[in-house]
Amino acid sequence: MQTCIIFNPSARGQRAQALCSRLQELHPYFAVRLTAAAGDARRLAAQAVLEGFTTVVAAGGDGTANEVVNGIADVPHGLQNVRLGILPLGTVNVFARELGLPWRLDAAIKTLATGRETTIDLGRADFDANGQAQTRHFLQLAGAGIDSRAIELVTWEMKKKLGKLAYVVAALRAAKEKQPVISVQCGHDLSGELVLLGNGRFYGGSIPVFPAADLRDGLLDVCIVPKLNWPSTAQIMGGLLTGKVHRWSSATCLQVRQIRLSSSSRVILQLDGENTLELPATLTVRPKALRVVTP
């Protein structure tokens, strides 16, 4: 048995038990381990690596995938020895869309069993927490400003009732607040009230906010929006929907190998759609560091 599935039951609510049974029915040779709280997927993934599994699968949303890849990276040589698989069971599943993974469970399981492997870049955020240097990896995207604030405002009840629209509603609420200024250092000294970073093209679903991004180019794509108000928020929404943020707003778009974000106010940085840390943080890319199962 070489494949371990880390399954987040909350990704499918009351259908979780039936889905878990279906997973084991489709492929009885996969070990399935369930998470019970935030952080469990990271711990279980690290444990799976230590036990000798060569493929560790995140069955859930982007947050579960983020935890699993961090668990793999926590083990020395884990990224070299273990490949990441994805079963897209979450609300948005941006990284799965980037990889072109199938949505039907049967087809996704088949991809894990017979799919090919590719190697991609892995994002990395370095920061201090409680006086200690910390590292957190990310697969697809990061953001600071109104998007991380919107994630903070979204409740489980909102997600259950509204699905992806919950984030739009939360973003509109966040737009009413005074926006902190984020300082950006990346060879140039810039600033803005919203900073979006992409390892891949997609953000918030299948929206190509970073059309030039490539998971294998060793670069982060960055959009810096200088000012947020109701008119500019509407423009950004239009840019997000068309994948042309730079045309719809005064955003500065660039590609970097390293970027430093800081603020004199409290600003959260989200990684793969989950609020993870507070600025300051330095973000880089580990070129072709991650092995991933793809169709």
Tokens of residue 269, six digits: 């940085």
* Catalytic-labelled residue, pool 25, 117, 157, 274: 274
Identify whether 117 is a catalytic site residue. no
Burial 121-144 (b: 16+ CB within 10 A, else e): bbbbbbbeeeeeeeebbbbbbbbb
Regarding beta strands 83-88 and 258-262, do their DSSP bridges make them parallel or antiparallel, or are they unpaired?
unpaired
Residue with tokens 């009230």: 193
**Alpha carbons 92 and 106: distance in angstroms, whole number:** 19
CB atoms within 10 A of CB 271: 27
Tokens of residue 194, six digits: 């919203």
**Alpha carbons 172 and 181: distance in angstroms, whole number:** 18
Question: What are the DSSP E strand ranges found in the chain?
Answer: 3-7, 31-34, 55-60, 83-88, 116-129, 132-138, 141-145, 182-185, 189-192, 194-198, 220-225, 252-256, 258-262, 268-271, 274-278, 281-294
CA distances from 34 to 53, 95, 138 (A): 16, 21, 22
> Which sequence positions are flagged as catalytic?
274
